Amino acid sequence: MAQAKAIAKFWITTTDLLDHVLKHEKQIQLTEPTKDVLIVHRLVSDLFCRYVQLCRNLERCYDQTLQVQKRAVIQQLLEAGHARMLELRTKLQEIELSEFVYVDGTLQEQHLIPDDVLAVRPCYIPAKRPHELQSLLDARKLPPFIVTGSDSEDASSSDDSDQEEKKSTEETVSLGKGIHRPVVQRNRRKERLRAALNLITAHEKARQARVRQTNFRLHPDRYYPKPIDEEIVDVPYEFFYRPGQFMLYPVKRTVYNWDFRMKKKDVVHFAYYSPPGWEEQAVPVTTVPFPDAMEVALKQQAEEENAAEIAQAEAAKRLEEAIELMKLNRAAAKIQRYWQKYKAVKAQRKQRYDRSKFLGLFDDYEPNFGNVLDVEKVRSERRDRKPEFDRTFVAAIADEKARILRTRGHALLEDITDFVRAWYREWYDETLAFDVIPEPFQGGTVLIVRGETLTPMEYLELERQKRLDKLKTADQKKKEADVKKAAKEREQTQKREEKERLKEMAREKRAREKKEGKTYDFTEPEFMSNAYLTLEETLVRYRRDWSFVNELDNLYDLPIMEWITLDKFAEVHQELHGEVHELLKAERELLQMALCKDERMKYKPPKPKKPPRVKGAKGKKRKEPIDPTAALSAESIINELVEHRVLKTYRKRTFEDFIGDFNYAAFERRNRLEQDPPPGMGEVRTILQSYLYGMGPIFAPKPKSICLVGPPGYGKTLLLEAICNETGSALFDLSVETCGPIEPNNMTYFLQLVLRAARLLQPSVIAIESVQRAFCKKVPPADQPLDPTKLGKHLFQVIVKQLKPEDKVLLVGTCDQPWLAKVGPLKKCFDKILLLPRPDYGTTVLLWRYALRCFPTAPRDMDVSALAKVTIGYSPGQILQCVREVLNIRRRMQFGRKPLEVGELLDHFLTGSSAGPQYPITDKEYEKFVKWHRKVDKLAKQRAKLVRERKLLAEQMQAKAAGAKK
């Protein structure tokens, strides 16, 4: 109950924030048109940051709201808020002419940090599939998504060699037709564990042997076996053998149950062992003769000698006890000395901590992760209750509809029929005719009740006009037709002239903007979008409808039954109209037949009207494409794709595994110094996460396809797997190797099968590794048997073009040699082409720290700043591989006597690698990626043109200033 009240209060606060944001946007719309790009950027970025905060609050409200009717309102607000936020982000990209935008000035004004405006995964993602489809996927054994030669072990891979978990699976490799050879995949993790266990066991046995040898050398009297005084008679033993083991030496294997180091061992009464077939026998009683004087003397002498020996043994024992007590006293003193020293150091640290805290040198905040986990657990439990409330709401709707039909159904039927019959009577009294009842697709009897049909007076006027038209001559009819034709032509001419005038105005506006600069008007549709109007209308409607509801009192989130009653009453009324339509239509036909009989006229039954056909955008009839997979069931589709090895599993990656820092100086360099700074690798995460809002149950704009371009080792495969994992998508692999066995004639059917399965299992991701091979200009000889271009020929027409905005399907491609592909077809297939930036100093430092942190025994205080400065430009894959190869098991065992040095990591790049020295990608090689990206990306091309113009203008200004000095 307390949680429900807290959520209600938070929702009230969110509505106030929404009202404040809308008022702020209205004030911005009153701003005068301006050409200053910096002012426009500041205003748009201010709105963008406010909408980010608003959407986060709406996401939390949607996630924790159980009341179904209010959740529908929040969902509508959330969809409009996401659409508006993405529109503002797109506007910022158009202003900055880059996919990477920076709003540092607004962050300073609103006292925010960069994390407050980053795109994060909403709480309602990933969306859950239906249980039947998910069970179909779980029942199949899917192959892993591992691409040979890709950068799957690069860019901030969180799977270290000691943390990888790969299951031992048996795969089949086809040899010809119908022949399959089983291939057992090596379980390298078990092999590494077995080798480590053998190594530890060998070291432990050697240590025990060294200890035993030392004990025998220093204390022979204590550890060597002593001779047994009395003879052992009838020592029991047993023979044994191990089945299946050959004997190395022809000896008798015997297990003795006698310990030769222990004196006078009772074999019979041994507690843990009873020899097989052993029977205890009673000791016979014999009479002992009385000893004589000699025997008594010898016995006394033996007792005296024994007493002397006992005295010597007791003295030796007391000496040993004294030595042991002295050792214990020394140990206790040493422990006390170290404990006092530890307490002193601890008190000194406490004193230093209190002094620094008093001086304000640091914040004493200590995060309590236990509370965070408890809060998340409570939220998860509340989130899991939403299906229960949905079922209760549906049951309430069904019960209310049944109640209305039971209590009010008959009365409603009578009201409808009485009203229509009165309408018949009215028409007959005024016109002596009966109007035709509209068809159901036109509205049916509902139009009669609303009064939206033809009135009797209008009917009489039409009949009079028809009679007058019959009296007109041919010349009059021709003249009227000419007048109508002339009016129609004049109207078309006006429309054509208006269209040409608008085109001319747009042409003049573009020329003026090119010459003088673009003028930004905040009242134009590009700033006032439908999303803003939807937010405003929804908020007004919510406050009007919910004004009488006290949300703080509805602690159990019960539905509001008054609204359900009104909605179901209208629905029942509409259904009853459809049921009585045929009855009233038959009554009208009977009345019309009787009227014709009375008037002695020929009865003409009315012609049935057909619903209009759906037409395309240009007025043509829409031709539905033929789906050859329509007859297949979901199970058969999934089975076929599993046989073709298209459906695959992927590793559990997240965007946090993609290590990268931000470019903190980009805002000043771009907006104040008019430079073009390179983005940071950490900004790639924000862009990709903003593309994925539409992959959840809430509708949001998203691109149909994304292409990740970058050199090998930059984390493209990692990002692809992170997209799948973050959205909970099913992965469809359409790489060249997967599509190779498919015949070119069956390629269209195969892609249609993949598209239907992707829609069926959505959210889904269709992945294409090394997509340049599908659009290559010249097929390499090694790829000619696979015919990779057959995928590129049908990809746009069958996959990309058929995707709809509401489909939770995303096409993701990776490319490491884009210049080998045809620019036109590749650009046509991908809406967004993202070039991964090169690692800068901040990213390189984070990568080295992350790579060393993967090993628990590696030093944590190692200074890697100099190493990062030297290794700027190396790919994340190279850095991680370097650390894995240097810090092997043998090197980690030497940390105690040989600390790790920075030079070892640097020397590995130069001489330590088995493949020879490793060098980072050169500026010339990366410039090839940049030039290709400018060809296919509109914003990158415009940005490059702007930079050239600024550079040329600066050179002209410098030349002019130099001429003035002379």
3-class secondary-structure state, position 25: helix
Q: Would you state the pLDDT for residue 22? A: 94
547 and 683 in a single domain? The answer is no
Q: Would you state the pLDDT for residue 225? A: 60
pLDDT in tens, 862-897: 888 889 999 998 999 999 999 999 998 888 888 888
Report cis status (omega within 30 of 0) of the bond before 763: yes
780 and 857 in a single domain? The answer is no
Q: Would you state the pLDDT for residue 624? A: 62
- Residue 583 placed within a domain: no
- Residue 424 placed within a domain: no
- Residue 108 placed within a domain: yes
Contacts of 82 (CB under 8 A, 6+ apart): 55, 693, 698, 700, 701
Which has more confidence, 827 or 436? 827
Q: Would you state the pLDDT for residue 506? A: 85
Total domains in the fold of the chain: 4
651 and 791 in a single domain? The answer is yes
Closest CA to 106 of 170, 67, 166, 53: 53
- Does the structure show a pLDDT above 60 at 267? no
pLDDT in tens, 542-585: 999 998 888 778 888 889 999 999 999 989 988 888 888 888 88
Please state, as a whole number, how many other Cβ atoms lie within 10 Å of the Cβ of residue 378: 12
- Residue 308 placed within a domain: no
- Does the structure show a pLDDT above 80 at 914? no
- Does the structure show a pLDDT above 80 at 652? yes
pLDDT in tens, 801-832: 999 999 999 999 999 999 999 999 999 999 99
d(CA 100, CA 671): 13
71 and 93 in a single domain? The answer is yes
3-class secondary-structure state, position 694: helix
pLDDT in tens, 22-74: 999 999 988 888 888 889 999 999 999 999 999 999 999 999 999 999 999 99
Mean pLDDT across the chain, nearest whole number? 83
Residues forming beta bridges with residue 621, ordered by sequence position: 615
819 and 844 in a single domain? The answer is no
What one-letter code names the amino acid at 778?
Answer: K
Q: What integer is the mean pLDDT of 606-628?
A: 65
d(CA 953, CA 43): 28
Residues forming beta bridges with residue 776, ordered by sequence position: 821
CATH of the domain at 742: 3.40.50.300
Residue 454 region, left (φ>0) first, then alpha (ψ -120 to 50), else beta?
Answer: beta
- Residue 281 placed within a domain: no
104 and 53 in a single domain? The answer is yes
Q: What integer is the mean pLDDT of 491-513?
A: 88
Contacts of 804 (CB under 8 A, 6+ apart): none
Q: What integer is the mean pLDDT of 351-362?
A: 79
Burial of 74 (0-12, 13-18, 19+ CB in 10 A): buried
Q: What integer is the mean pLDDT of 340-351?
A: 90
Q: Would you state the pLDDT for residue 750? A: 92
107 and 37 in a single domain? The answer is yes
pLDDT in tens, 415-425: 888 888 888 88
- Does the structure show a pLDDT above 60 at 283? no
CATH of the domain at 847: 1.10.8
- Does the structure show a pLDDT above 60 at 768? yes
Confidence band, pLDDT 50/70/90 cuts, at residue 289 = low
Which has more confidence, 697 or 246? 697
pLDDT in tens, 362-404: 666 666 777 888 888 888 898 889 999 999 999 999 999 999 9
Q: What integer is the mean pLDDT of 332-350?
A: 91
d(CA 955, CA 958): 5
900 and 913 in a single domain? The answer is yes
Which H/E stretch holds residue 48? helix 37-64
- Mean pLDDT is lowest, of 361-365, 397-401, 465-469, 481-485, for 361-365
- Does the structure show a pLDDT above 90 at 18? yes
Q: Would you state the pLDDT for residue 402? A: 93
- Does the structure show a pLDDT above 60 at 441? yes
48 and 106 in a single domain? The answer is yes
- Residue 154 placed within a domain: no
pLDDT in tens, 623-638: 666 778 888 888 999 9
What percent of the chain shows pLDDT beyond 90? 37
Of 803, 838, 873, which residue constitutes the final position of a domain? 838
Q: Would you state the pLDDT for residue 862? A: 84
822 and 858 in a single domain? The answer is no
Confidence band, pLDDT 50/70/90 cuts, at residue 166 = very low
546 and 690 in a single domain? The answer is no
Q: Which domain holds residue 853?
A: 839-920
743 and 809 in a single domain? The answer is yes
Burial of 373 (0-12, 13-18, 19+ CB in 10 A): exposed
- Residue 28 placed within a domain: yes
Q: Are 826 and 771 in contact (CB under 8 A)?
A: yes
Q: SS3 sequence, 205-274? A: HHHHHHHHHHHHHHCHHHHCCCCCCCCCCCCCEEECCCCCCCCCCCCCCEEECCCCCCCCCCCCCCCCCC
